[in-house]
Structure 1
């Protein structure tokens, strides 16, 4: 370092910190006994249902594949970008780890990258589902010796487990996106509707979080405090899409109150925006003032509950506030 920098201790909490890379470590040394011991521990700790299977290691792989698919679908639904999705940063329990370079999108851009070390965009927002599948293929490779004594049979079993990824991811993501638009379930029509919305958002450079929240706010009662009424309005280019959305809600017999309740519970008003985090860190490190930090933590603990007194924490960054890169030390 060119100078002394303030430091801090970050304690990460998860149900375990066993990663895909942990399996790779032993596999690379051809230490199959340790791979098996680790797999047995993961089954006991996280996936006891796999232990009841006649083929526990194939079942374990399936469990991890499905957990990762659901996790990454949730990332995509809220505009989260992990930033460093190498296998050593993917927990087999299906929880998110490695928080430094991660970020939530402001303006919607499928190719958005934040991590300063991701110069080629390998871990861009839209690439995350594919990278998740790639990582799981390495877990499958590590587990092959446990899945069957015949290599060809082990490969077939691994491919079958990996084949569930696309289905689970697709169903989870489509269900989440349907709910973000007020629908009870996904359908061909709903999927087309949210695909068209994302295209509009990209064209108009709309804030990801505020756009979805504003859609729900259009259905709010006059008595409710809404984010859209104060800091964000949808561009005129959305008018035709809005009509299609309202027509489909009516076609599926979903009333305004029901749609609004669904959307409010799926579309956060508050996310950990980069500029807010930067401001909290700056005040804590340079002034030893943790007021903003504690306020931000309190607001983020209730992301779906909007109040005008917390309006500043919902706002998108101005041009000079925008954070374009994140770092492992963030």
Structure 2
């Protein structure tokens, strides 16, 4: 669900001065030729560090992102919607498994990644710290959040690190189905009763500000994008992804008779979307743990980790005898 790239943390790019210049030049030449970097290949420590952060945060976003939609499985209207919602949530968790495996090839264990998530050290996408009040909220997530993720993922699937690109190829194929499912659910409500139309419009109003920050801070606020893009860690800037998303989905929103809650949203004479600048202070607060649902979402993951500990112990030591806890 998550596209990656909006939670990069500052890293000292002075680290590059400590790398072997011959190996670094060869590494950059390989990337320039379009070759993939594999786990056993030489790579700058900065490249490894940024990829670990990016991929694990993508993985965290998949399992945390399943929570707001997962709460609507039992309340989805009708058996067909329940089955579809369940399948989608299952896919998102499966995406996390693929991504944790890809990140592990860079030297950080899954256990370390999950510990960092639960302790609040490792971040995940800001949009998953907002509540899904109604079934309409879940549908907006399934359509527009997944749409934003696909914009990022389709670009990053052409990146330089082989294991991540291969994981993204599979994830993008499944996300395409999620997007169709979300669009169908939104169309159903937007063309339904007045109450349904009101619900979906109110959900769009709630989610539009988080959607606009989903791709991360504007390029003028980033100091490291150039190097990351040269190494094909990132394949498109945050603003370019945001513009692509607006190009693709604002017309679709308008076609449904829905209103984008931004009076300044328009295309200028140069074909560039203008919009109200997102609240980046709120973005930073949410990323750093002060969002409406940060504590709740991490508490769920912490509980799942604790309750599943006996299963992991049993799998790692099959000859040992473990009793499942009653709690």
Same fold (TM over 0.5): no
TM-score (normalizing by structure 1)? 0.27
TM-score (normalizing by structure 2)? 0.27
Larger Cα-atom Rg: 1
- Which structure exhibits the higher relative contact order, with contacts defined as CA atoms closer than 8 Å and separated by 6 or more residues? 2
- Of Structure 1 and Structure 2, the greater helix share is in 2
